[in-house]
Amino acid sequence: SFPSQVRVFEMSPRDGLQNEPGELITTAVKIELINRLSACGLSHIEAASFVSPKWVPQMGDASEVMAGITRKAGVTYAALTPNLKGVESAFAAEVDEIAVFSAASEAFTQKNINCSIAESLARFEPVLEAARNKGIKVRGYVSTVMGCPYQGDVDPKQVAQVANALYAMGCYEISLGDTIGVGTPLKAKRMLEAVNRDIPMNNLAAHFHDTYGQAIGNLYAVLEEGLAVVDASVAGLGGCPYARGASGNVATEDVLYLLQGLGIETGINLQDLINTGDWITRQLKRANGSKVALALGAQ
Ligand code: HMG
Ligand code: MG
């Protein structure tokens, strides 16, 4: 059955901006985006990514972004850390939580983090240990859970295997990424069932991209199974630079509208969120990817 409460994990400052083509987005815009998001009532914000700036130039100012934001009490500011070097910078920047990321597809893992799945998991061991020593929680992402841009179909068993490895290593939550948005509701349900065999529903999150317009349908399917954490990005910004054909995350505004319709609590203000999406899309000179934002409009 549906959960009574859902935690929305806002992705736009990281997943939303990492792939933006053209000029580098200024640090000031990133800081303002994060501050606006926390004012909307979002409790979890992925604020930055401590990856190689050669690989992802748009995230090159992660330390400056973290230093510049106004921290709101009760809000978790998270960041991606692919290796120990990233962890050291993330700790220096006083992030509240870190995240490691692998994938269910070998080909994608190779393109995204330049190693095999097994090597990525081995690389995360010292990351998890460092976090444990510091008392910092680690989230684990599994990408390409419903399809890979390089290898095509992905077996739910393979998703479960990588998810289990991250969970066993100590990740408190496993976020299941439909990186290129190719999933459909039944597929989402089957994939979740495979993962939920070994990992409790309370430790799982859905990270769905909306490339094929299926993300809201896919979310409905997994919410119905009791999943209660949803990753989303305001105005539907985003996509992974190493996922051919990837487009934005599901829009946070659209997720909120769905949840309101289901009578599920989030503590987030929809109009404030729409205004924030309107503001950032103007800054980026981008179209707004939220249907709900287009329907209701900024005020
Ligand atoms: P590599 O080239 O194999 O590693 O990259 P390396 O150790 O040889 O390092 C290369 C250079 O990067 C060196 O600099 C390092 O110092 C530097 P040089 O010596 O040449 O001057 N470097 C770093 N700099 C800053 N911070 C670091 C860091 N690490 C190394 N942490 C590496 C391997 C993992 C670093 C690289 O492949 C990388 O950064 N990849 C990140 C890719 C990425 O961010 N992808 C997008 C996020 S994942 C995603 O979007 C999916 C998700 O949304 C879920 C979904 O949708 O499915 C999460
Ligand atoms: Mg993503």
Please determine, for residue 172, whether its predicted confidence score (pLDDT) is greater than 90: yes
Please determine, for residue 228, whether its predicted confidence score (pLDDT) is greater than 80: yes
Q: Cα of 230 to ligand 2 centre, how many Å? A: 12
Q: Which helix (H) or strand (E) holds 218?
A: helix 215-224
User: Average pLDDT, stretch 127-149?
Assistant: 98
User: Average pLDDT, stretch 150-158?
Assistant: 97
Please determine, for residue 240, whether its predicted confidence score (pLDDT) is greater than 80: yes
**pLDDT mean across residues, the chain:** 97
Which tens digit of pLDDT belongs to each residue from 180-221? 999 999 999 999 999 999 999 999 999 999 999 999 999 999
Please determine, for residue 60, whether its predicted confidence score (pLDDT) is greater than 90: yes
Residues that are catalytic: 240
**Which atom of ligand 1 has the smallest separation from the CA of 83?**
31
Please determine, for residue 241, whether its predicted confidence score (pLDDT) is greater than 90: no
Is any atom of ligand 1 closer than 6 Å to the C-beta of 141? Answer: yes
Going by C-beta distance under 8 Å and a sequence separation of 6 or more, which residues neighbour residue 229? 6, 7, 8, 9, 173, 175, 204, 205, 206
Question: φ, ψ for residue 9 (rounded to 5)?
Answer: -105, 110
Is any atom of ligand 1 closer than 6 Å to the C-beta of 2? Answer: no
Please determine, for residue 153, whether its predicted confidence score (pLDDT) is greater than 90: yes
Provide the pLDDT for residue 239: 85
**Which atom of ligand 1 has the smallest separation from the CA of 59?**
44
Question: φ, ψ for residue 69 (rounded to 5)?
Answer: -75, 155
Half-sphere exposure of 199 (CA within 13 A, CB side): 30
User: Average pLDDT, stretch 106-127?
Assistant: 97
Dihedral of the CA atoms 32, 299, 265, 205 (nearest 10)?
-50
Reported as a pLDDT band with limits 50, 70 and 90, residue 243 is confident
CA distance 236 to 218: 15
